[in-house]
Amino acid sequence: MDREELIGKLSTAVNEGSVEESSSLAEKGVEAGFDPLEVLAGVTGALKEVGHRFGRGDMFLTELMFCAEAAKGATAVLTEEIKRQKRDVPYLGRVLIGTVAGDIHDIGKSLVAALLTAEGFEVIDIGIDVPDEAFVEKVGELKPDVLGMSALVSSTMVKFKDVVRALEEAGLRDEVKVIVGGAMIDQEWAEQAGADAFGSDAVDAVAKVRSLLNIR
């Protein structure tokens, strides 16, 4: 199997959400001595294709999750190899993500986290029902490039505004880009809350994070 063929197969495995298959292909690529950065680029390309398919309604959420898992598995193997070769792992950015206080909805936020990880972002998921001050504290401590917040119900949507204000008060607002999302959220609400971006779904959220950080 040459490099092109391996990347092709890996891309198919990611698109089909074959979790074990994609890790084992990544391992084969490493064993064969292919440049892990190039193979990693293949994984990123496949994920982009997955995103397009989801965007045009050609894929279901469950499948998207498996695709993200498949990509994550391969990315972990390849990143490990890049580190072993003492080369720089491409740094995309660090994202802190969580669901706001009073809201226990996990799925959307976790999916965004999974997709970001699969793309190669460093993701710190601080869970659900996160108090305002915990967001602020973690932003100060971990210095993420992006803070992602999720809220599913109308009663918790107001929390975005509170967290943004708390960040301002702590003098951290300019240190971090803020992106929000959730079933009831729209662009207008995101702007009112003082966020920098709004993700209409998980794939859109990843695209918005990329554009916030000027990543092509």
Partner 1 sequence: MINSCFKPWIYWYASPGLKKGRLGVKGGQLRFLTNDQIKELDYAAKEILWRTGVKVPNEVCLKILDQKGAVVNFKEEKVCIPPYLVDEAIRKTPKSFKFAGRDPKRAIRLDTERVYFVMGIGPFMVAPDGSMRKPTVRDMQDCYRVLDACENVDVAGVGAGGTHSTPEEYLALPLIVRRLRKYLDMLDLMEKPVDMSKTYVMDREDEEGDARQATIDQIKMEIAVRGSLKELRKLPMSLGFNEAVSPLMFLPRNLEKLLVYAEYGLPIFIGSGPMTNATGPATMAGTLSLWLAETLASLVIGAMAAKPENRPPAMWMNFSGVFDQLSAHGPIFGSPESALIQSASAQIAHWYGFPIRGCTDSSSKALDPQTGYETAISLLTSALSGINYNVSIGSVGPGEIGMSLEKIVLDNELAGYVKRVMRGIEVSDETLAVDVIDEVGPGGTFLAHPHTRKWFRQEQYFPTIFDRRKYEDWVRRGRKDAVQRAQERVQEILRDYWPEPLDPDIKKRMEEYVRMVEKREAHRA
Contact footprint for partner 1 (CB under 8 A): 17, 58, 60-63, 65-66, 69, 104, 106-107, 110-111, 183, 186, 200
Least CB distance from residue 60 to partner 1, whole Å? 7
Least CB distance from residue 63 to partner 1, whole Å? 7
**Structure tokens, 145:** 């490039």
Least CB distance from residue 71 to partner 1, whole Å? 14
How far apart CA 162 and CA 169 sit, in angstroms, is 10
Helix runs in 56-131, H state only: 61-84, 107-119
Q: Which is nearer to partner 1, 92 or 128 (CB)?
A: 128
Q: Which is nearer to partner 1, 55 or 194 (CB)?
A: 55
Strand partners, 148: 97, 179
DSSP structure string for 9-58: HHHHHHHHT-HHHHHHHHHHHHHTT--HHHHHHHHHHHHHHHHHHHHTT-
Q: Which is nearer to partner 1, 34 or 54 (CB)?
A: 54
The residues, ordered by sequence, that sit 6+ positions from 161 with a Cβ below 8 Å of its Cβ are 192, 193, 194
Least CB distance from residue 176 to partner 1, whole Å? 26
Which residue, 95, 108, 205, 101, is CA-closest to 159? 101
Q: Which is nearer to partner 1, 18 or 136 (CB)?
A: 18
Least CB distance from residue 66 to partner 1, whole Å? 6
